[in-house]
Amino acid sequence: MNSTPEADWLNLLIGLLQGGQLQLLRVLDALGLARHVHGQPAWPWAHRLSGENLVIDLGQARSLAWTLVFVALVVLALMLALLWRRPRFYFLALVPMLLIAAPWPEPQVVLVPATPTSFQSSPTGFTAASIAKGRVLYQQNCVACHGADGKGEGPLAASLAVWPPDLSGPLLWRRADGDLLWRILHGTRDAQQGGEPTMPRFAGKLDEADAWALLDYMKAQGAGQSLRALGSWPQPIGLPDMAVRCGSHPPRLLASWRGQRVRIVAGGAAPAEDPRLVTVLLRPPSGSEAPAADCVADSAAAWEALALITGTDRLAGTHFIADRDGWLRARGEPGKAGWSDDDLLCRSERASAATGQGAAPPADGLGALIARMDAQPVRFVKGGFIH
């Protein structure tokens, strides 16, 4: 998203909400006050602060921001009252005045239902191996209802009380990963029909590692379906982690380059090294000879994962660029010479509307694309991320 002042302060506010709650949970865990569920500390309350509604209702977001400022002033006044005895009465009298004057937001806007796993995250991250594992689990447990493409049109869908959701839409990005984990393992109920079950619980049949793998696969599948239907990734998708071998050095994970831009070349000849990018040649799983490159990934799972994310069976010759935070941002199609603005598939709506104005393409298409990526980072929102 374009780095506007409004986006900056809202992003900061939502990041503070999420980070503050996560740190609180870690403190409770360190003090032995948080129980563990599915291998990680559990959120002890039925609600949590969330930013999803703040993105929609900027008025409430501003109210919350100003309320936090007033609360900070209250804390400052209390500290000054402890330090200075003579004006203590004035500082203490200021506290209720500030609390009354604060523009408190509506509770239903900033508070959303929570699950014990709301702040949990995958211990392994988004990996090609996890996506491959999730593919098998999805075929075994989910395809009958959600369908092979995740659109909720499986053979059993029509017989259910509630039609399964479309997993290729924004559902997976509207909820925190931990909340999705809870629903996979403990099922879902329809609040409109007296709490009738709408999805069975899989705890006992699947463990938390299986549930994380399912989530990874569903995200990759949803990204591919969106790309096929819309020509872009409307929700951000990460570059799957994989093992990479550079020269005679021991293999290292792709995530170890976090903080640098990464270019993945799926088969074919690797382009010349570029100091702006770490270039990795992903060799096809067919075992055919591939040109030599400084950094190579030999992973059938990674090949399948990127094919899934792009919604194609013809991955050979495709180039990918991930930003410094590990998000996939651009795709170069096979046979295309150079880069252009059209290759930036993960962008804000505002930036998308601004393209195609008739301007001449820059001489250095890759440089212009990198500049756009840096100027429009993926922003943190709610339990997930948006452009």
| Among 174-183, 190-199, 259-268, 344-353, the least confident range | 344-353
On the 0-12 / 13-18 / 19+ scale of CB atoms within 10 A, 246 is: middle
- Summarize pLDDT for 94-107 with one digit per residue, the tens: 999 999 999 999 99
Q: pLDDT tens, 136-183?
A: 999 999 999 999 999 989 999 888 888 888 888 777 877 889 999 999
Q: Which fold has domain 128-230?
A: Cytochrome Bc1 Complex; Chain D, domain 2 (1.10.760)
Residue 352 has pLDDT above 50, yes or no: no
Structure confidence at residue 351 (pLDDT): 47
Rounded average pLDDT over 217-228: 94
Q: Which amino acid is at 231?
A: G
Residue ranges of domains in the chain: 5-34+47-113, 128-230, 243-355+364-386
Q: Give the separation between CA 255 and CA 258, rounded to whole angstroms.
A: 5
Question: Is residue 356 pLDDT above 70, yes or no?
Answer: no
Alpha carbon of residue 94 to chain centroid: 42
DSSP H/E element including 70: helix 58-83
pTM: 0.87
Q: What is the mean pLDDT of residues 267-296?
A: 81
CATH class of 243-355+364-386: alpha beta
Question: What's the pLDDT score for residue 338?
Answer: 84
Write the DSSP symbol of residue 153: -
The answer on pLDDT for 113 being more than 60 is yes
Give the model's pLDDT for residue 7. Answer: 66
Instruction: For residue 289, give both structure tokens.
Output: 């000879």
SS3 206: strand
- How far lies 384's CA from each of 15, 61, 64, 150, 323, in Å? 11, 18, 20, 19, 17
User: What number of residues does the chain have?
Assistant: 387
Tell me the β-bridge partners of 48. Answer: 112
pLDDT above 70: residue 345? yes
Q: What is the mean pLDDT of the chain?
A: 87
| Between residues 66 and 176, the one the model is more confident about | 66
Beta strands in the chain (DSSP E): 36-37, 40-41, 47-49, 111-113, 188-190, 196-199, 243-246, 252-253, 262-266, 278-282, 295-297, 319-322, 328-332, 379-381, 384-386
Split at pLDDT 50, 70, 90, the class of 33 is very high
Question: How much is the pLDDT for 57?
Answer: 84
Average pLDDT over residues 81-102: 92
